[in-house]
Amino acid sequence: MKNPVLYMIIPCYNEQEVLPQTSGMFLNELHDLVAKGKISDDSRVMFVNDGSKDRTWEIITELSRKDPHFIGISQSRNRGHQNAVLAGLMEAKDLCDITISIDCDGQDDIHAMEEMVDAYLDGCEIVYGVRSKRDTDTFFKRFTAEGFYKVLNALGAEVVFNHADYRLMSSRALQEFAKFKEVNLYLRGMVPLVGFKSTCVTYERHERLAGESHYPLKKMLALAFDGITSLSVKPIRMITGAGIFFFILSLLGILWSVITALSGNSVPGWASTACIVFLMGGLQALFMGVIGEYIGKIYLEVKGRPRYIVSERTWEQDK
Ligand code: UDP
Ligand code: MG
C-alpha cells in the first residue's frame, strides 16, 4: 500500500506573531512522519487564512513560495474558526487521504499526530485528540468548558469529552461529512454523527506560543449556544413538558375555583374569571409545546443530514 497523503489543516486569524514560529514546527513534524515512512512526501501543511487583518496571508504566501509543502487558502472575510476549519477540510478532501485539523498557535501538541496517523493505519477513519489535562487553562475556562460537555451530553448530543478541533479525519469520513449541509457549525458535535471506526489520542495542551486568544468569553458562549441548538431539540421537548405540566395545573386550578365558588367562599364573578385565566394559560403553554415539536421536526428536516451512511459492503471487502 502506498503511504497516505496527509494534509494538516490550520486555521489562522491574525496570527502574524505566532505563524513564523509554528509553521516550522508543522513542517518538521511532516518531514518526521515522511522519514518514518508513515505518510507520503506529497503531504502538505495547509493554512486557512480566515480573513485576517494583519500580515498573516502574506506570511502564508511567502511560506508557500519557499517550500512546496506549504499551501494556503484564504477566506473572503472572517467567518470564524469553525467555518475556517470546514473550508480547509472540504478543500482538502479530494486531494489527500487524511487530514488533521489543528490550531496554529502551538497549543495542541503536534507530536500527537504520529499516534493519530498510527491509529489511521490501524483502520480508524476518525481520531479525536483529547486533552489529558487543562493545567494551562484558567479555572474559569476549565470549569465552564467541562461543565458544558456534560450539559451537551445530558441533552443527548454525543460529544467527546475534552476534545476540541484537533482531530484526524480520513478523506472517506470527509466525503460523508460533506453531506451534512447545515450552516450552523459545531464540528466537534457533528463529526461523531458520521460514525465509522474511531478512537481517541490524548495529548497535553500547552500555552499559546505568541499572540493572544481570539476566543473571548463572548465567542465561547456563542459557540456553546450553537452547540446546543444545532445538536439537540431537547430544549423544545422541555417546553412541551412544561406545557403539559401547566395544562394539568390549570385543570386543577379550575377544579379548585369551582369548588370554592360552589361552597360559597368567593365573591360572584371570581370563579368564572379564574377559570378562564387558568384555561387560557394552560392551553397556551400546551399549544406552544405542540407547535414547538413541529418546529423541531422542521429544523431537523431543513438540515438535510444524510439518512444513512454505509461503512462496509460485502462485495467490496477485498480492497
Ligand atoms: N481562528 C480563526 N478564526 C477566528 C478565530 C480563531 O480561524 O475567527 C483560529 C486561530 O487562528 C487559531 C484557532 O482558530 O488557530 C483557535 O483560536 P485561539 O487560539 O484564538 O482560541 P483558544 O485556543 O484560545 O480557544
Ligand atoms: Mg489557541
* 224 inside domain: no
CA of 215 to the centre of ligand 1 (A): 6
pLDDT, position 150? 86
pLDDT, position 319? 55
- pLDDT tens string, the chain, 319 residues long: the values are 789 999 999 999 999 999 999 999 999 999 999 999 999 999 999 999 999 999 999 999 999 999 999 999 999 999 999 999 999 999 999 999 999 999 999 889 999 999 999 999 999 999 999 988 766 677 887 888 888 888 888 888 888 888 989 999 999 999 999 999 988 889 998 999 999 999 999 998 888 888 888 888 888 888 888 888 888 888 888 888 888 888 898 889 889 888 988 888 878 888 888 888 888 888 888 898 889 899 989 988 998 899 999 988 888 876 5
Q: CA–CA separation, 301 vs 245, rounded Å? A: 28
- Does 47 sit in the ligand 1 pocket, CB within 6 Å? no
Q: CA–CA separation, 297 vs 149, rounded Å? A: 24
Q: Which residue has the cell 495547509?
A: 46
Which cell goes with 153?
451530553
* 162 inside domain: yes
What is the CB neighbour count within 10 angstroms for residue 187? 20
257, 132: one domain = no
pLDDT, position 278? 83
pLDDT, position 294? 92
* 223 inside domain: no
Contacts with 19 (C-beta within 8 Å, 6 or more apart), sequence order: 12, 47, 56, 59, 60, 104
* 185 inside domain: yes
Q: CA–CA separation, 10 vs 33, rounded Å? A: 17
* 229 inside domain: no
- Does 56 sit in the ligand 1 pocket, CB within 6 Å? no
110, 201: one domain = yes
CATH of the domain at 14: 3.90.550.10
Looking at the CA of residue 107, tell me the nearest atom of ligand 1.
23
* 221 inside domain: no
243, 138: one domain = no
Q: What is the pTM of this model?
A: 0.85
Q: What are phi and psi of 194, to 5 degrees?
A: -70, -35
pLDDT, position 318? 64
Q: CA–CA separation, 16 vs 285, rounded Å? A: 53
> How many folded domains does the chain comprise?
2
What is the CB neighbour count within 10 angstroms for residue 166? 25
188, 47: one domain = yes
CA of 144 to the centre of ligand 2 (A): 16
Burial class (CB in 10 A: 0-12, 13-18, 19+), 212: exposed
* 127 inside domain: yes
**86 and 47 Cβ atoms separated by less than 8 Å:** no
* 128 inside domain: yes
Q: How many CA atoms lie within 13 A of 96 on its CB side?
A: 26
Helical pair 19-35 and 112-121, crossing angle rounded to 10 deg: 40
193, 49: one domain = yes
Mutate to test the pocket of ligand 1, among 215, 219, 221, 223 (most ligand atoms within 8 A of CB): 215
Torsion of CA 282, 287, 235, 230, to 10 degrees: -160
161, 268: one domain = no
131, 246: one domain = no
Instruction: Name which residue sits closest to atom 2 of ligand 1, judged by CA.
Output: 81
- Does 215 sit in the ligand 1 pocket, CB within 6 Å? yes
Residue (of 313, 300, 290, 310) closest to 239 by Cα position: 290
Q: Which domain holds residue 247?
A: 234-303
